[in-house]
Amino acid sequence: MNRKPFAHNEWYHCYTRGVDKRKTFQNERDYQRFLQLLYLANNDKAIHRSDLKLTHKEIFAQVRGKQLVSIAAFCLMPNHFHIVMSEAVDGGISRFMQKVGIAYTMYFNIKNKRVGNLFVKPFRSKHIANDEYLKQVVQYIHLNPLEIFEPEWKHGHVATSRALEMRLRRYSYSSLAAYESDEQSERAILDPDAVLLAKDEWRSLSDILQDTRAYYAELSPTKNVKMLS
Protein backbone atom coordinates (compact mmCIF):
# COMPACT_ATOMS: atom_id res chain seq x y z
CA MET A 1 0.00 0.00 0.00
CA ASN A 2 1.50 3.34 -1.04
CA ARG A 3 0.78 5.95 1.61
CA LYS A 4 0.60 9.62 0.72
CA PRO A 5 3.47 11.39 2.52
CA PHE A 6 2.55 13.17 5.74
CA ALA A 7 2.82 16.95 5.45
CA HIS A 8 4.93 18.80 7.99
CA ASN A 9 2.93 20.69 10.67
CA GLU A 10 -0.37 19.14 9.53
CA TRP A 11 -2.50 17.15 11.97
CA TYR A 12 -3.48 13.51 11.43
CA HIS A 13 -5.72 11.04 13.21
CA CYS A 14 -3.79 7.74 13.21
CA TYR A 15 -5.30 4.48 14.35
CA THR A 16 -5.01 0.72 14.11
CA ARG A 17 -6.26 -2.40 15.85
CA GLY A 18 -5.00 -5.81 16.82
CA VAL A 19 -4.65 -8.48 14.16
CA ASP A 20 -7.82 -10.59 13.91
CA LYS A 21 -9.36 -7.95 16.20
CA ARG A 22 -7.51 -9.56 19.10
CA LYS A 23 -7.29 -7.89 22.50
CA THR A 24 -4.00 -5.99 22.58
CA PHE A 25 -4.32 -4.54 26.10
CA GLN A 26 -5.15 -7.23 28.63
CA ASN A 27 -4.61 -5.46 31.94
CA GLU A 28 -3.45 -2.21 33.53
CA ARG A 29 0.21 -3.13 33.10
CA ASP A 30 -0.28 -3.40 29.32
CA TYR A 31 -2.04 -0.04 29.09
CA GLN A 32 0.63 1.63 31.17
CA ARG A 33 3.41 0.09 29.09
CA PHE A 34 1.90 1.52 25.91
CA LEU A 35 1.43 4.95 27.49
CA GLN A 36 5.06 4.91 28.57
CA LEU A 37 6.08 4.11 25.00
CA LEU A 38 4.03 7.03 23.66
CA TYR A 39 6.37 9.21 25.70
CA LEU A 40 9.67 7.34 25.35
CA ALA A 41 9.41 6.53 21.62
CA ASN A 42 8.79 10.19 20.77
CA ASN A 43 12.53 10.71 20.66
CA ASP A 44 15.20 10.70 17.98
CA LYS A 45 17.38 8.55 20.22
CA ALA A 46 16.93 4.90 21.14
CA ILE A 47 15.48 4.37 24.62
CA HIS A 48 14.60 0.90 25.89
CA ARG A 49 11.89 0.76 28.54
CA SER A 50 13.27 -2.48 29.96
CA ASP A 51 16.53 -0.67 30.80
CA LEU A 52 14.74 1.93 32.94
CA LYS A 53 14.10 0.80 36.51
CA LEU A 54 11.50 3.48 37.13
CA THR A 55 7.89 3.68 38.22
CA HIS A 56 5.15 4.55 35.77
CA LYS A 57 5.04 8.15 37.00
CA GLU A 58 8.82 8.54 36.92
CA ILE A 59 8.96 7.54 33.24
CA PHE A 60 7.28 10.80 32.21
CA ALA A 61 10.02 12.88 33.85
CA GLN A 62 12.76 11.34 31.71
CA VAL A 63 14.68 13.74 29.49
CA ARG A 64 14.26 12.95 25.79
CA GLY A 65 16.06 13.98 22.62
CA LYS A 66 14.38 15.78 19.73
CA GLN A 67 10.74 14.76 19.43
CA LEU A 68 9.51 13.03 16.27
CA VAL A 69 5.88 14.12 16.58
CA SER A 70 3.60 16.52 18.43
CA ILE A 71 0.74 14.62 20.07
CA ALA A 72 -2.59 16.37 20.62
CA ALA A 73 -4.63 13.46 22.00
CA PHE A 74 -4.78 9.69 22.39
CA CYS A 75 -7.14 6.94 23.46
CA LEU A 76 -6.35 3.28 24.09
CA MET A 77 -9.10 0.69 23.81
CA PRO A 78 -8.91 -3.07 24.50
CA ASN A 79 -8.20 -3.98 20.86
CA HIS A 80 -7.20 -0.70 19.18
CA PHE A 81 -5.82 2.78 19.74
CA HIS A 82 -6.12 6.32 18.37
CA ILE A 83 -3.48 9.07 18.29
CA VAL A 84 -3.86 12.62 16.98
CA MET A 85 -0.46 13.99 15.99
CA SER A 86 1.62 16.03 13.59
CA GLU A 87 5.19 15.60 12.37
CA ALA A 88 7.87 17.48 14.28
CA VAL A 89 10.51 16.20 11.84
CA ASP A 90 10.22 14.81 8.32
CA GLY A 91 9.12 11.19 8.48
CA GLY A 92 8.33 11.56 12.16
CA ILE A 93 4.88 9.95 12.19
CA SER A 94 5.93 6.78 10.39
CA ARG A 95 9.08 6.44 12.48
CA PHE A 96 7.20 7.05 15.73
CA MET A 97 4.46 4.53 14.91
CA GLN A 98 7.09 1.97 13.95
CA LYS A 99 9.02 2.47 17.20
CA VAL A 100 5.90 2.23 19.36
CA GLY A 101 4.54 -0.78 17.45
CA ILE A 102 7.78 -2.77 17.54
CA ALA A 103 8.51 -2.01 21.20
CA TYR A 104 5.02 -2.88 22.42
CA THR A 105 4.75 -5.99 20.25
CA MET A 106 8.06 -7.29 21.61
CA TYR A 107 6.85 -6.69 25.18
CA PHE A 108 3.46 -8.30 24.49
CA ASN A 109 4.89 -11.31 22.65
CA ILE A 110 7.46 -12.08 25.35
CA LYS A 111 4.83 -11.77 28.06
CA ASN A 112 2.35 -13.99 26.22
CA LYS A 113 4.85 -16.39 24.59
CA ARG A 114 3.67 -15.62 21.06
CA VAL A 115 5.28 -14.55 17.78
CA GLY A 116 4.26 -12.37 14.85
CA ASN A 117 2.60 -9.02 14.30
CA LEU A 118 0.24 -7.71 16.94
CA PHE A 119 -1.24 -4.69 15.13
CA VAL A 120 -2.72 -4.48 11.64
CA LYS A 121 -0.28 -2.96 9.15
CA PRO A 122 -0.12 -0.41 7.74
CA PHE A 123 -1.78 1.82 10.30
CA ARG A 124 -4.63 3.99 9.04
CA SER A 125 -4.52 7.78 9.00
CA LYS A 126 -6.91 10.63 8.27
CA HIS A 127 -5.78 14.18 7.54
CA ILE A 128 -7.26 16.86 9.79
CA ALA A 129 -7.76 19.80 7.49
CA ASN A 130 -8.20 22.70 9.93
CA ASP A 131 -8.19 23.74 13.58
CA GLU A 132 -11.95 23.34 14.01
CA TYR A 133 -11.79 19.78 12.75
CA LEU A 134 -8.86 19.12 15.11
CA LYS A 135 -11.01 20.13 18.07
CA GLN A 136 -13.78 17.80 16.92
CA VAL A 137 -11.49 14.82 16.40
CA VAL A 138 -9.89 15.25 19.83
CA GLN A 139 -13.33 15.24 21.41
CA TYR A 140 -14.46 12.27 19.30
CA ILE A 141 -11.60 10.00 20.30
CA HIS A 142 -12.12 10.85 23.97
CA LEU A 143 -15.60 9.35 23.58
CA ASN A 144 -14.27 5.95 22.50
CA PRO A 145 -14.58 4.38 25.99
CA LEU A 146 -18.34 4.73 25.63
CA GLU A 147 -18.06 1.46 23.69
CA ILE A 148 -17.05 -0.14 26.99
CA PHE A 149 -19.53 1.66 29.25
CA GLU A 150 -22.53 1.74 26.87
CA PRO A 151 -21.97 -0.72 23.96
CA GLU A 152 -25.22 0.36 22.26
CA TRP A 153 -24.68 4.11 22.61
CA LYS A 154 -24.42 4.60 18.84
CA HIS A 155 -27.91 3.18 18.53
CA GLY A 156 -29.34 5.64 21.03
CA HIS A 157 -29.15 3.50 24.18
CA VAL A 158 -27.38 6.02 26.41
CA ALA A 159 -27.44 6.64 30.14
CA THR A 160 -27.51 10.18 31.44
CA SER A 161 -24.81 12.41 30.00
CA ARG A 162 -23.62 13.30 33.48
CA ALA A 163 -23.04 9.66 34.44
CA LEU A 164 -21.22 8.94 31.20
CA GLU A 165 -19.07 12.03 31.53
CA MET A 166 -17.98 10.93 35.00
CA ARG A 167 -17.02 7.49 33.70
CA LEU A 168 -15.10 8.99 30.79
CA ARG A 169 -13.15 11.25 33.14
CA ARG A 170 -12.22 8.24 35.27
CA TYR A 171 -10.97 6.28 32.28
CA SER A 172 -7.20 6.12 32.75
CA TYR A 173 -6.13 5.31 29.21
CA SER A 174 -7.07 8.39 27.21
CA SER A 175 -5.78 11.94 27.27
CA LEU A 176 -9.05 13.38 28.57
CA ALA A 177 -7.85 13.43 32.18
CA ALA A 178 -4.61 15.08 31.08
CA TYR A 179 -6.64 17.79 29.38
CA GLU A 180 -8.37 18.55 32.64
CA SER A 181 -5.45 18.35 35.08
CA ASP A 182 -1.93 19.75 35.02
CA GLU A 183 -1.03 17.17 37.67
CA GLN A 184 -1.58 14.19 35.35
CA SER A 185 1.81 12.54 34.71
CA GLU A 186 0.68 11.34 31.27
CA ARG A 187 0.18 15.00 30.29
CA ALA A 188 3.89 14.90 29.38
CA ILE A 189 2.92 12.83 26.32
CA LEU A 190 1.00 15.78 24.90
CA ASP A 191 2.18 18.91 23.14
CA PRO A 192 1.12 21.86 25.36
CA ASP A 193 0.34 24.13 22.41
CA ALA A 194 -1.81 21.43 20.81
CA VAL A 195 -3.76 21.02 24.04
CA LEU A 196 -4.44 24.76 24.22
CA LEU A 197 -5.61 24.77 20.61
CA ALA A 198 -7.86 21.72 20.98
CA LYS A 199 -9.36 22.98 24.25
CA ASP A 200 -10.40 26.32 22.75
CA GLU A 201 -14.22 26.50 22.81
CA TRP A 202 -14.35 23.10 24.54
CA ARG A 203 -17.76 21.49 24.09
CA SER A 204 -19.67 19.40 26.61
CA LEU A 205 -20.33 15.70 26.15
CA SER A 206 -24.03 16.27 25.49
CA ASP A 207 -23.16 18.75 22.72
CA ILE A 208 -21.00 16.30 20.79
CA LEU A 209 -22.84 12.97 21.13
CA GLN A 210 -25.10 13.86 18.21
CA ASP A 211 -22.41 14.33 15.58
CA THR A 212 -19.76 11.85 16.78
CA ARG A 213 -20.97 8.88 14.81
CA ALA A 214 -20.87 10.71 11.51
CA TYR A 215 -17.11 10.92 11.89
CA TYR A 216 -16.70 7.22 12.68
CA ALA A 217 -19.13 6.26 9.94
CA GLU A 218 -16.71 7.97 7.55
CA LEU A 219 -13.82 5.94 8.96
CA SER A 220 -15.82 2.71 8.60
CA PRO A 221 -18.27 3.39 5.76
CA THR A 222 -19.41 -0.25 5.58
CA LYS A 223 -21.03 0.03 8.99
CA ASN A 224 -24.59 1.30 8.91
CA VAL A 225 -25.19 3.08 12.19
CA LYS A 226 -28.36 4.97 13.09
CA MET A 227 -28.10 8.52 14.34
CA LEU A 228 -28.99 9.30 17.92
CA SER A 229 -32.47 10.65 18.39
Q: Which residues pair with 74 in a beta bridge?
A: 83
Question: Average model confidence (pLDDT) for the chain?
Answer: 85
- Give the whole-angstrom CA distance, residue 217 versus residue 224: 7
Q: In the chain, where are the structural domains located?
A: 11-219
* Residue percentage of the chain with pLDDT more than 70: 82
- Give the whole-angstrom CA distance, residue 128 versus residue 205: 21
Check if the beta carbon of residue 88 is closer than 8 Å to that of residue 67. yes
- Lowest-pLDDT range of 87-96, 113-122, 138-147: 138-147
- Give the whole-angstrom CA distance, residue 87 versus residue 153: 34
The pTM is what? 0.87
Check if the beta carbon of residue 141 is closer than 8 Å to that of residue 75. yes
Instruction: Label residue 61 exposed, middle or buried (CB < 10 Å: 0-12, 13-18, 19+).
Output: exposed
Q: How does pLDDT run across 145-184, given as a tens digit for each residue?
A: 988 887 766 665 565 667 777 888 889 999 998 888 887 8
Residues in the chain: 229
Domain 11-219 is in which class?
Answer: alpha beta
CB contact set of 18 (below 8 Å; sequence gap of 6+): 24, 79, 80, 118, 119, 120
* Residue percentage of the chain with pLDDT more than 90: 56
